Structure 1
Amino acid sequence: MTPFKLSDELLEQIEQLIEERNNSTLLQILNELHYADIAEIINELNLEEATYLIKLLDSEKTSDTLTELDDDVRERILKNLSAQEIADELLELDTDDAADIIAELSEERKKEVISHIEDKEHAKDIVELLRYDENSAGGLMAKELVKVNENWNVLTCVKEMRLQAEHVTRVHSIYVVDDDEKLKGRLSLKDLLTTSTKTHIRDVYIPKVDYVIVNDKAEDVARVMSKYDLEAIPVVDESGRLVGRITIDDIVDVIREEAEKDYQLAAGITQDVEADDNVWKLTKARLPWLLIGMFGGLGAASIIEGFETAMEKYVVLLIFVPLIQSTAGNVGIQSSAIVVQGLANGTIKGKIFHRLLKEFVLGLINAIGISSIVFLISHFGFHTPYLISVTICVALITVIINAALIGTFIPIFLDKRGMDPAVSTGPFITTSNDILGVFIYFLIAKLILGF
């Protein structure tokens, strides 16, 4: 299958057909496309054109397309749809996707839409999902699943499964519960097909099953599913009752969103923004860390000013200030990035002292290698006096080790305090190491050169 690529020619054709109200040709084109590709087209249209296409498509394709739209585009389109139209689309969606869409509406509009959903059981499930935090297992799960009672025999089980499967898009697993709806295990399809119809499920089900609890964090759910290569995982409440399941497509979204957030935090962007957001929103997201960086630069400048007298005698030291700052920043970012990644995937274990010791040794090796090259270039290339070249190298070694330790310690410290360690990378580490690097540089120069 050739991946879909939206061309200017196709977009212009769609816009022209909408203007002409040529519904038959439009449907002919759109019916051959995946709903994700249709969403890509709608994201590029103006509001009137986008709403027209949404209303033109059949209800099943419309509902799937809505889930793939950019959040701001979907929000504008939903405002153009009546409560009944939105309710009709929600009927075609699994409860988790329906809850995600309805969560974007105002409280008054939510109640109005829910009241128009004809399937009251579906509406009840959506309302239940809305109670959970969107970043929890409960907020990710769907109510649609296939479950069987441990006291049924195989024949009864198969009949019930046929009825339940009508409401499930894809059957990943068959879960076994007791009379109180508590999760007991899972059922192998092979065992079901090869067992006598009179056999009870309690005699053939597999008691070992991975599960998560409704209040578990989305990141923890992603970690479990990734570790055990699961396509779906059941969700239980605090009493152990089976209440839903989470599928791999929802976890992929979590992993992508978390990666985007961490990437932005590492770059010094404090809010979730996109390139198409307005200038004011982008400014609010980017300015705070830029201001911190500015004050960090002023702090480094004030340190240099404190050694102004010495600079008159050893002006050559100023030439290597950018080297000290950039090296310290780079080492700190490398260390923090590795630690943040390890914290995210759960590979960082053990005592913090051992982690710092390892980073110290690594920093020392890198520092000796870099400072050796700097000494050769400084002394023989720039003809810097021997003692000053030694001073620069000793300072560089100290700065690199210090930056490595800071880049390792701060993310772990923040994580233990319940904060996102990704905030420690980027501008935070760079700024702190700039200031400390310059201070260490001139302090060591003062000790060695005696000014």
Structure 2
Amino acid sequence: MIQLTKEYVETLKKVIEEKDDKQAIAIIKDLYPADIAELYKELNLDEAIYLYLLMDGEKAADVLMELEEEERHKLLKELPTEVIARQFVDNMETDDAVDLMRELDEDTQEEILSHIEDVEQAGDIVDLLKYDEDTAGGLMGTEMIVVNENWSMPQCIDEMRKQAEEMDEIYYVYVVDDDERLKGVLPLKKMITSPSVSKIQHVMQKDPIAVRDSESIEEVGQRIEKYDLVALPVIDSIGRLIGRITIDDVMDEIREQHERDYQLASGISQDVETSDNVFEQTVARLPWLLIGMIGGITNSVILGGFEAGFASNPKMALFIPLIGGTGGNVGIQSSAIVVQGIANNSFKQNKSFTQVLKESVVSLINASIISMVVFVYNFFTLGDPVVTASVSLSLFAVVVFASIFGTLVPMTLNRFRIDPALATGPFITITNDIIGMLIYMTISTLLMKAALG
């Protein structure tokens, strides 16, 4: 494995400056596409374009897809559409080509499509662009080995050889009927052990696991994980085989989705990278900060309404962080469990009541233990029975409320097709802070009035 040292990069830069094509190719020829993409971070745009135009089309296409989206945009913006079509798209599998095309505006897409030499490939790309990018149809590629169930094994093998010439990787051999409907998968073992079978329908694996083109990426990922597949056939509404999805494509999409969910849970309203400029990062982060500020002001207003209570018993103020922090933590725990269940498909919408009931029992146990511990501590250290009782009762009520609220919010968001990851972020924390303060102040006021007679 070649190390991309400072000396290595400087040598390459010098060769590029001298326009020594042969030496430049020799330097990078043993690098993997991912390594070349990493190397590009050390080059300026002109140097990167120079290297791209030297590489063979297949390697150039692989390197392009390894680049960060922002770097890819910069590069594509400087290249003619004809070069993009011939150097990159022509050498990509259809799923990668569609991913690339989605990043470009419609006019540029049309220009690139007009330069693609393979009319069939261009047609496949146009068809795939019609799908929503978050569905199986938007993620699939059309490169696959397909044979007819009525073919003999020798005929099948001959046809497979022809189809394999245009493919980089072969995952499965799919079997269809005369109407192109998916009927089975042909195992490699059967090709070896049944070389002269009259019809492959007799040896194929019937009823293969498949996914419809309209199903979501989450459902595709769950299917691949459940059945330990490396590729999954995609069928249309009447069962015709129209494409396949590979595990690496699914993992890339799920990773990006998890990154978006993590950012959403952290209060970042849109996808940002460390390389994004100050304006982009500010726009992504400011909305929830402003909402949090409004929540803080609301808390201040609530506390201001109980100013007389603090004046008569200042010890009450000592427990404001405890009430707010506990409510926020409990709410995030509860919502995180539901969000995780939704993500891995272990949570079923028709069992919502069971989940709420289970969470209620857990919250009652947690609330009892937490409030009892605080009660004992305050009883021996505080010397104020009113504050001791109000803090314990408030903690009990806040923990129960935050648990149930944290469970219901992601369920509700999921029902209305809103990303439930929103429920594990500032939304839960801010809401629980406000409700927690209202509970604490209300209970404290009532107990103080009762103590005063």
Q: How would you bin the TM-score normalised by the shorter chain? A: over 0.9
CA contact (8 A) 1:236 1:242 kept: yes
Q: Residues 23-34 of structure 1: matches in 2 within 5 Å? A: 23-34=21-32
Change (3 A) 1:311 1:111: same
2:423 is the alignment partner of 1:424: yes
2:374 is the alignment partner of 1:379: no
For residues 115 and 351 of structure 2, what CA distance do their matches in structure 1 show?
A: 56
Q: Residues 264-283 of structure 1: matches in 2 within 5 Å? A: 264-283=263-282
Change (3 A) 1:188 1:29: same
For residues 18 and 376 of structure 1, what CA distance do their matches in structure 2 show?
A: 74
Cα RMSD (Å) of the superposition? 1.7
Secondary structure in structure 2 of the residue aligned to 1:91 = helix
In the TM superposition, residue 272 of structure 1 has moved relative to its aligned partner by: 1.1
Structure 2 residue identity aligned to 1:253: D
For residues 214 and 389 of structure 2, what CA distance do their matches in structure 1 show?
A: 57
In the TM superposition, residue 82 of structure 1 has moved relative to its aligned partner by: 1.9
Secondary structure in structure 1 of the residue aligned to 2:239 = coil
- The match for 2:414 is 415
In the TM superposition, residue 150 of structure 1 has moved relative to its aligned partner by: 0.9
Change (3 A) 1:270 1:6: farther
Structure 2 residue identity aligned to 1:438: M
2:352 is the alignment partner of 1:352: yes
Q: What is the aligned residue count?
A: 448
For residues 19 and 380 of structure 1, what CA distance do their matches in structure 2 show?
A: 78
For residues 208 and 113 of structure 1, what CA distance do their matches in structure 2 show?
A: 39
Residues 310-348 of structure 1 deviation map (CA, whole Å, 9 limit, x = unaligned): 111121111110111111111111111121111011011
Unpaired runs of 5+ residues, structure 2, are none
In the TM superposition, residue 223 of structure 1 has moved relative to its aligned partner by: 1.4
Structure 2 residue identity aligned to 1:372: M
For residues 40 and 416 of structure 2, what CA distance do their matches in structure 1 show?
A: 43
Which deviates more from structure 2 when the two are superposed, residues 151-160 or residues 350-359? Answer: 350-359
- The match for 1:14 is 12
Change (3 A) 1:5 1:51: same
For residues 107 and 169 of structure 2, what CA distance do their matches in structure 1 show?
A: 33
Percent identity between the aligned chains?
47
Change (3 A) 1:109 1:357: same
In the TM superposition, residue 24 of structure 1 has moved relative to its aligned partner by: 3.5
For residues 374 and 129 of structure 2, what CA distance do their matches in structure 1 show?
A: 60
For residues 4 and 361 of structure 2, what CA distance do their matches in structure 1 show?
A: 51
CA contact (8 A) 1:219 1:254 kept: no
Structure 2 residue identity aligned to 1:58: D
Unpaired runs of 5+ residues, structure 1, are none
- The match for 2:69 is 71
Structure 1 residue identity aligned to 2:313: Y
- The match for 2:54 is 56
Secondary structure in structure 2 of the residue aligned to 1:347 = coil
Residues 8-45 of structure 1 deviation map (CA, whole Å, 9 limit, x = unaligned): 44444433332333433432231121101111121343
For residues 396 and 27 of structure 1, what CA distance do their matches in structure 2 show?
A: 68
For residues 18 and 379 of structure 1, what CA distance do their matches in structure 2 show?
A: 77
CA contact (8 A) 1:268 1:426 kept: yes
For residues 24 and 393 of structure 1, what CA distance do their matches in structure 2 show?
A: 77
Which deviates more from structure 2 when the two are superposed, residues 167-176 or residues 441-450? Answer: 441-450
Q: Could you tell me the TM-score, scaled by structure 2's length?
A: 0.95
Q: Residues 52-451 of structure 1: matches in 2 within 5 Å? A: 52-88=50-86, 89-349=88-348, 350-381=350-381, 383-450=382-449
Change (3 A) 1:101 1:151: same
Change (3 A) 1:5 1:443: farther
